[in-house]
A and B are shown apart, each in its own frame.
Chain A
C-alpha cells in the first residue's frame, strides 16, 4: 500500500475526529480544533479537508438520523480508517525523531 502523506491541517482534523470518537461531525470537530489548538479553522477549509481525507481513504463517514434542529437534515459522522491511523503514527514518529536531541530548544 502506498504511503499516505498528511498535511498539518489534515493531521489536526484526523486527531480531532479521533478525540471525538462516535460523535465526530463537522460542528464539534471545529470546536475541538479551536479548543485544543486555539486555531480558528475556516469552515470551508474544514469541509475541503474532510472531503479530501475521505477521497484519500483516511476517513469513512456514515449518515445519522434526520434531526429537526438541522432543518430535517442528517448529521454525517466521521471515523478514522486504520490506514490513516498508521499514517498519523508514522508522521508522529518522524517528528519525534527529528525532535530527538533538540530538547534544549525552548
Chain B
C-alpha cells in the first residue's frame, strides 16, 4: 500500500481523486493482496500519465503529435516484449545483473565518497590540514599550538575545533569498558552543525584546565549502558580513573568521527604549554557566511606563513590546506579503489550491452522483411529507428526493478559481512542501501544502456535497402556479420582484464590471509589494552601492570604462555616508526635518517608467536630496567643496515638515546598486508621501555577462543577497572584486518565471473546464429561427404579465431590494468606471466566450449532437410 501511495502521489496531481482511488484500492486490497495492489496502482498511474499528456483523450483534437505516436510506439513495443517472453527474459535478466552491479557500486561511492556524513550544509564544513615537507604524508595533522593560533586569528572560518583520538576507559556499574572516543575542542558540535539531543555541547569554559572533566555521550552508549535514563545529564561517571560529569547526549546516530561514543573537551595544563612540533590534531571548522573555500585557503596560507616565520624550528616548510570536510576526511585509498570497482562494473555492463546488441541485431534481421515493406510503403526511416529504440528503452526500463533488487541484495551482503569494529572506521557504510538517488542513477544508466545497445541495431535495420530486404530468402549481408563478430571479439577482449584483475586480487588476498605469515597465527588469542594515563603515568606502575598481567594470564588453565607487545601483527594499531642511527655506518643524509618499525615486546613474545630467532638470542627475563639496553632486529633489517655482516654485537641508536646493543636476529613477519613481508623492524624489551598501549598475545593449548573468558577475568584481577578490547583469535584478527582485500577480491571475482559468463554466452549466441545462417551450406558440405568432425572443426575454428583475436587484445589491456592494480594495491598484486597465461587459458576454454555446442548441432544437420528447406 505504501508503494501505491507513493506511485499515485507522483502520478495524480488532484488530491481528492488520489484519496478516492487509494481508498478504493485499500478497500479491495484485503481480498486481492499486495501484488494486485501494485499492479493496479501501476496501471492507474499509467492511465493517469496518458490522460495528462492527452494521449488517450480521443475528444481532444489538438495535441502533441510526437507524443501521441510515441505512445503508440511504446504500446507496440510493450506488446512485442510480451510476444517474445524468452527474449525479454534473457535481455532483462542480463541487464538486471549489469545494472544491479553498477547500482550497488554507485551506492558505495555515493555513501562513502560523495556524502559520507549526515551533515547540515555539508559544503560549508571544512577540514584544515598542515602540509609538511615530507611528501608521503599529503595531509598532515596539526600541532596544538598552531591550532590555538589559527583559532585566535582566522576570520574566514568560524567554530574551529580540534579533534584528538581518545581511548576512554569507562567504569560504571558492570565491567569496565573501553570506548572509542574523541577529545574535541569546545566548538566541535557547532562546527559539525549538531545540537545534543539532551543537555548541552561544550563551551569554552569546559576547556579550562581543572574544569574539563565533562563528557558528551553518544545516543547508543546512553541507551546501552544507562538504559536511556532521562535524568542522565549531570550524572558523574568514572572515565580513565577520574570522575567526569555527563553534560549532554548526542542525537541518535551521531557518531562522528569514526563511530565515536564519547566526547570530552581538549584542555591544556598551564604548566605544560601545548606543543608546536608534535602534530596529532585533526582540525575542522565552518566557513563564515560569505566566505568561500578559496577565501579561507588564502587567509590560512597567510597565517601559516606568519607562523612559519615566527616559529621556524617547528613550522619551517609547513603550510596549511583547507578541504571540504567530506573531501578531507576520506581515506585516500577509498576513491581509487571504488573507481576501480565502478569501472569494472561498467565493463560488465558493456559486455551485457554487447550481448544484447547482438540479440537485437538478430531480432532486427528477423524483421527485415517487415521493415522493408514498411519502408516501401513510405514509412519514414526516423520513425522506424524511433520505434526500435523505444523497444530497447522499454527493455532497459523493465530491467530496472530487478536491477534494484540485485543491488539491494549485494549491498545487504556487503553490509552484513563487515565486522562491526571495522565498520565504524568506514564513514557512510552503515547507511548503505537504496534511496532516491540510487533509483535515479539506475534509471539514467538504463536509458544510457538502451542507447548503447539499441542504437546500432536500430540504425542498421532502417538502413537496409528495400529491394534487398524484400528478396525471398535474402541472407544477412557480410557487413552485419562482421559487426556481430567484432562485438563478440570486443567482449572477450574486455572480459580478460577483469579476469586477470580478479585473479590478482584473489591470489594476493589469499597470500595475506592464508599464506605464511612469518609467525604461527593458529592457537593464539590476542587482545588490546590502553592504560589510562592518569593512573599509569609512572613507568613503575606500567611495569608492574605488565609483570602482573603476564603472571595472571600465564596461570590461566589452557594458556601455555603469554606475552605483551606494543603493536601485535595485523592489529591495525598505529605502527610506530623510529628513526635510527647505526654505529659505524653513518647515514649519508643525516637530516633524513632511516626509520624502522619499532616493537616493544616482553621476553616470551618470540616463543608465543613462534617467530624464529635466526642468530644470537631472544630476550630473557634479565633484559629489564637497569640492565644493558638490547635490541633484536628482523632479518630484513639486518640485511639492509649491516649488509654482509653479522649484526649481533653491533650497536644502534634511536633518536639521541644511548647506544643499544643488537643481541639477536629474528625472522621477518607480515605485520600488516600493506607493509608487505620484508619490512625492517626492531624489537626492544617492553620492560626496558614500558608503554601504556599494548596488545597481549596468548599461546593456547587448544581452541584459543575457549580461554577468552578466563583470560579476561585474570586481567580484571590485575586491575578491576581496566577494560580489555578487541579480544579475538589471531586468525579472526587476520580476517578482519584483510577485510578490505577480501571485499576487493570478492567483488572483482563476482564481476569477472559475470563477464566470463556473459562473454561465453555472447560467443555462443553468435556462433549459433552463424550456424543457423549457414545451415544450407553446411548441409551441402555434409551431402558432399564432409564428416561430422570436419563440420565441428569448421565451426569451432570460427569460434577459435574470434576468441584468439579477442584474447590477444585482452592481454594487452590486462597488462595495462595490472599496472594500475599494482599501483593501487601497494604491491598485493604482483602480475606475473603465469597469471595472465592461466586466465587467458580459462577464457579460451570457456569460449571454445561455447563454440562447441552450436558446432555439434551443426554436425547433426540432416542434409536432406537442410537443402529441402530452401
Contacts and interface: CB of A to CB of B under 8 A. Distances in A.
Contacts of B448: none
Band of interface residues on B = 20 to 34
Contacts of A26: 20-21, 24
Interface residues of A, number: 21
A74 B45 CA distance: 20
A48 B55 CA distance: 12
Contacts of A70: 23-24, 26-27
Interface stretch (A11-19, A39-47, A88-96): A39-47
The main secondary structure of chain B at its interface with chain A is: helix
Contact of B27 (A7, A27, A42, A45): A27
A95 to B, nearest CB: 20
A82 B40 CA distance: 32
B1 interface: yes
Interface stretch (B46-54, B117-125, B233-241): B46-54
A48 B23 contact: no
A69 interface: yes
Interface in A28-53: 42-45, 47-48, 51-52
Contact of A42 (B22, B45, B47, B58): B47
Interface string B247-272: 00000000000000000000000000
Interface of A: 7, 25-27, 42-45, 47-48, 51-52, 63, 67, 69-71, 73-76
Nearest to A68: B26
A26 B28 CA distance: 11
A44 B47 contact: yes
Contacts of B16: 63, 76
B40 A43 contact: yes
B22 A73 contact: yes
A47 B19 contact: no
Contact of B43 (A44, A52, A76): A44
Nearest to A74: B23
A12 to B, nearest CB: 16
B44 interface: yes
Interface string B607-635: 00000000000000000000000000000
B659 to A, nearest CB: 83
Contact of A47 (B1, B21, B26): B21
B17 interface: yes
A27 B23 CA distance: 10
A48 B47 contact: yes
Contacts of B45: 44
B17 A47 contact: yes
B48 A44 contact: yes
B478 interface: no
Contacts of B20: 25-26, 73-76
A78 B125 CA distance: 57
8 contacts: A43-B43, A47-B44, A69-B30, A70-B23, A71-B23, A74-B20, A75-B23, A76-B16
Given A25-B20, A51-B17, A67-B27, 10 more contacts: A44-B46, A44-B47, A47-B17, A67-B23, A69-B30, A70-B26, A71-B22, A71-B23, A75-B23, A76-B23
B35 to A, nearest CB: 15
Given A43-B40, A71-B1, A48 B56 contact: yes
Contact of A73 (B26, B28, B51): B26
